Structures are given as structure tokens and as C-alpha cells.
Amino acid sequence: MPTEFDDWFVREILVHERALALFLQRNWPHRDELHDLRQEVYARVYEAAARGRPTAPKAFLFTTARHLMTDRLRRSRVVSIEPVGDFESSNVYLIDEVSPERWMGTRQALTRLAEALDRLPDRCREVVWLRRVEELPQKGVAERLGISEKTVEKHLAKGMRLIADYLYGGDAAHPAAAMDEDDGQGRRQQAD
């Protein structure tokens, strides 16, 4: 027995069946999937509308169709990772045992990088850390530190240059003493 909700669905959603079919035909390249696609759109709209009816049913229907097509395209681009054949015979080592020399070399490189970061002027170090380690966008760094994006850009460029100088220029390079620091307000101040 049809409910009031079913009547709403017929009146507000199914009335657009022809337009939806044309929309899917224009936008979905696999003709053999159109019927299933349309039914899945209806199922999604029905489930979502049962929780709360949309204020613009037609727009909701077509937005749902667009999202469904996007989801299917994303899923079709996912590459399955399944082992093919025997790796033993191809001399591919799946487990890379780390030699003590390699482990020590990596540890030394990380120590030098930490030293280079510690030698940066304070504001410059904050910007490099937020951009390169925490991976915040430039705008996010500027907002967090209360400085302009241009200042973030300058600090990042200076910091990366000073780190490179320290790592590749030897112990003589001392980044903190090498530069004056911009305080973020356009004023220069001597680095500590």
C-alpha cells in the first residue's frame, strides 16, 4: 500500500524520469549500464529522502546522478593490486633488509637535517615546519602565524636555501647568523 512518502516520490522524483534518462545518456559512456545506473540513482534518492526530504527535489535528483557517475568513474580507475606470478624467480626481494651501514647513514642524515632546522631563525623554522612537515597550505600557515602569504613564501624560500647551505655546504654554514629575519609585519630584525 503506497504511503504518503511514496506519493511524494512519484510526484516529485519519478516525474523527471525522461529528463534523467536523457541526462544519463548524454553523460554516461556505457549504454549497457544506463538502466542499472538510473535504478541506483532512484534508490539513493529514496533512501536519502526517507531521512529528510530535499527542498529542491529535481536538483537533488540530478546532483545524486552526477555524484553516482563520479563515484563509478573513480572506482573504475582504481587499479587492482594482485600478485602476478612468482617473485622469487625474478630475483625481486620483497623484504629489504637494512644493513647496519645503511641504518647508520640514514640516522646521521636525519640528525643533520634536525640540526639544520634548529639553526634556522625562529619564524623561518616555524614556516618551514608547518609547510614541509605538517603540509599546511601557504594560506593556512599565514593565518596560523598571523603573517602575509608573501612573508610565508619568503621565509620558506630562505629556510630551504639555508637548510641546503647547511646540508651541502658543511658545518661552517650557520643559518641563524647568515640572515636578518622579517618579523612578519614588514620590519627587519636581527636573527638571534
pLDDT band at 98 (very low <50, low <70, confident <90, very high): low
> How much of the chain, in percent, has pLDDT values that exceed 70?
76
- Give the tens place of pLDDT for each residue, 156-188: 899 889 988 888 875 444 444 444 444 444 444
Q: Hey, what's the cell of 180?
A: 636578518
- What is the rounded average pLDDT for all residues in the chain? 79
Give me the residue spans of the domains in the chain: 4-77, 103-190
Tens digits of per-residue pLDDT, 129-153? 888 888 888 899 999 999 999 999 9
Q: How many CB atoms lie within 10 A of CB 66?
A: 13
Third-level CATH fold of 103-190:
Arc Repressor Mutant, subunit A (1.10.10)
